[in-house]
Amino acid sequence: MKKSIFAALAVGAILLSGFATPASATTIFTLNQDGCSGTCGSGPFGTVALDQTTSSLVTVTLTLASGERFAGTGAGDALEFNVNSSALTLSSITSGFAIGQAPDTASTFGTFLQSITCTACQGGNSSNPVGPLTFTVSSASGVTIDDFIANDGGYFFASDIVGVNGKTGNVAAKDPGVPSATPEPASLALIGLGLSGVAFLKRRVRK
């Protein structure tokens, strides 16, 4: 009977390696650099999450801190960033936002290769969108999270916002984000089935 258990484990391992989907990867950057006129308050001012949706597509989600909103001061854009890949396609952009200038400058944080602008923003108006801002970045040659790189000043992302105190200006993320990996539901289901089978065989051995 022990041989049956080992055989079941071997078959389970083959099934998992052949049919389990790869884990999705997410990296989160924190907007904690304050370049506002005066100050935008106490950071962090928000996060930028990069999700590796497929091997050639990354979904970007910018979430501002509570009480903040996007600004349209002309000193920056909703989000500025660098992607080290050619022939990029920016799509599925949240309503009220659009592809911005390329390259674009975010005041004290320097110049970035790509940008998303807030078309619904006017100055620091209270009616400006609060987000979140989401869009996808893809390329025929492929795009990964590692292709998002810092600019000459060491900044990965910059965003023009209105702080909780009403001050406007750019905030930025300078340090590399924290990666995490989450197993896909299909992988978890297969693992669960495999473990259930092993438990069943063990019960038969005891009997």
pLDDT in tens, 127-164: 999 999 999 999 988 999 999 999 999 999 999 999 99
Dump pLDDT digits (tens) for 84-124.
988 899 999 999 999 999 999 998 999 999 999 999 999 99
CB burial of residue 167 (10 Å; 0-12, 13-18, 19+): middle
- Where are the strands (E) in 45-183, listed by range? 46-54, 57-64, 69-70, 79-83, 88-91, 97-99, 104-105, 111-112, 114-118, 133-139, 148-149, 157-162, 168-173, 178-182
Q: Is residue 5 part of a domain?
A: no
Dump pLDDT digits (tens) for 17-70.
444 434 468 999 999 999 998 899 988 999 999 999 998 999 999 999 999 999
Q: Is residue 74 part of a domain?
A: yes
Q: Is residue 95 part of a domain?
A: yes
Q: Is residue 73 part of a domain?
A: yes
pTM of the model: 0.77
Query: Which structural domain range is residue 50 located in?
Result: 26-38+45-177
Q: Is residue 13 part of a domain?
A: no
What is the CB-side half-sphere exposure of residue 164 using CA atoms within 13 A? Answer: 10
Q: Is residue 189 part of a domain?
A: no
Contact 160, 169 (CB under 8 A): yes
Q: Is residue 114 part of a domain?
A: yes
Q: Does pLDDT of 4 surpass 60?
A: no
Q: Is residue 34 part of a domain?
A: yes
Number of domains in the chain: 1
Contact 132, 63 (CB under 8 A): yes
Task: Kindly calculate the radius of gyration of the chain based on its CA atoms and give it in whole angstroms.
Answer: 23
